[in-house]
Amino acid sequence: MLRIAALEKLVHQLNRLPGIGPKTAQRLAYQILREPELSTGLQEALVAVRETVHLCERCFSYTDEPTACRYCADTSRKDDVICVVEEPSDIVRVESSGAFRGRYHVLHGAISPLDGVGPDDLKIRELLSRIEESQGSAPITEVILALDPDLEGDTTVLYLAKILTERGLKATRIASGVPLGSDIDYVDDRTLGRALENRVEL
Ligand SMILES: [Zn+2]
């Protein structure tokens, strides 16, 4: 690795990305240096993402619309059922299953005491006020918890199910063993669709 401050800085930033080790970071940095067009393209894409993509005010997915995302703005979707997911990318998975036509809510993670992530670090308060606000006009009656089947997902499901059922809502979980995470490719759309249809009441 050549000791050039700007190059070292680029390697350092690339190395911060998940799945990119120091060796790969160096290789990518040299490639960016070698190809001026790649460098310009990356720069433009990074600026565009920062300037145009933000969280939807309602469901906390990503959007480039001024306020509500396309799923929140779509008047043909059902208002009474809301699907809670861990990450914005999970929405794409649920959508491609074709088995859900309600609304979404993104928690931005799951409860993980080991990592110091508690309920207040997630968009749970926002979910509850959304449900509360809906009661006047178009009430949300069912909350589908489409969280990952791991320790964090289970903890979050238990936590939310208790709060939701106490409020008289129907809380369901997608059929067990179906991971939503976008990095997991082995669950096909039909399996996920079935898991949604065969959801279990909590
Ligand atoms: Zn939205």
Residue 172's CB is within 10 A of a number of other CB atoms, namely: 22
Q: Give the pLDDT mean for 102-115.
A: 96
| pLDDT at residue 191, as a whole number | 80
Length of the chain: 202
Q: Give the pLDDT mean for 150-161.
A: 93
What is the pairing mode between strands 200-201 and 170-173?
antiparallel
| pLDDT at residue 32, as a whole number | 96
- Set out the domains of the chain in order of their start, with CATH numbers: 5-52 (1.10.8.420), 62-201 (3.40.1360.10)
Distance 198 CA to ligand 1 centre (A): 25
Distance 42 CA to ligand 1 centre (A): 27
pLDDT surpassing 50 at residue 183: no
| pLDDT at residue 184, as a whole number | 44
pTM: 0.84
Write out pLDDT tens, residues 25-45: 999 999 999 999 999 999 999
Distance 161 CA to ligand 1 centre (A): 22
Q: Give the pLDDT mean for 94-114.
A: 94
Distance 133 CA to ligand 1 centre (A): 16
Residue 93's CB is within 10 A of a number of other CB atoms, namely: 20
| pLDDT at residue 176, as a whole number | 65
Distance 119 CA to ligand 1 centre (A): 20
| pLDDT at residue 188, as a whole number | 73
pLDDT surpassing 60 at residue 186: no
Distance 6 CA to ligand 1 centre (A): 39
Burial of 36 (0-12, 13-18, 19+ CB in 10 A): exposed
| pLDDT at residue 190, as a whole number | 76
Write out pLDDT tens, residues 50-72: 999 999 999 999 999 988 999 99
